[in-house]
Amino acid sequence: MMTGQELRKSIETALDEIRPFLKSDGGDIELISIEDDSLVKVQLMGTCVDCTVNQMTLKSGVEMTIKKHAPQIKEVINIKADQLA
């Protein structure tokens, strides 16, 4: 089992793998938190915020890549800026 720090590093590595694709469309992604070593909260930014396919991108691209690097992750959810109070 990975430590919290190793898990965060694995998830950041996964996000770095995805980021060039998001940036090519004018977007980005930021890791917000990891909860119970199984739930990852991210925030899509830039054009990704209003993109109609962002849920598909999140599930098929982001979640799949994160799970490849950190298999214990069960779910990845997008937190909108207005939910970060």
Residues of the chain below pLDDT 50: none
Structurally, the chain folds into a number of domains equal to: 1
Could you report the per-residue pLDDT of 47-58, keeping only the tens digit for each?
877 877 777 777
The secondary structure of residue 71, as a DSSP letter, is T
* Domain interval for residue 19: 4-83
Distance of CA 59 to the CA centre of its chain: 9
What is the CATH classification number for the domain harbouring 34? 3.30.300.130
Distance CA 36, CA 21 (A): 28
| Global pTM value | 0.86
Distance CA 85, CA 9 (A): 25
Q: Are 35 and 11 in contact (CB under 8 A)?
A: no
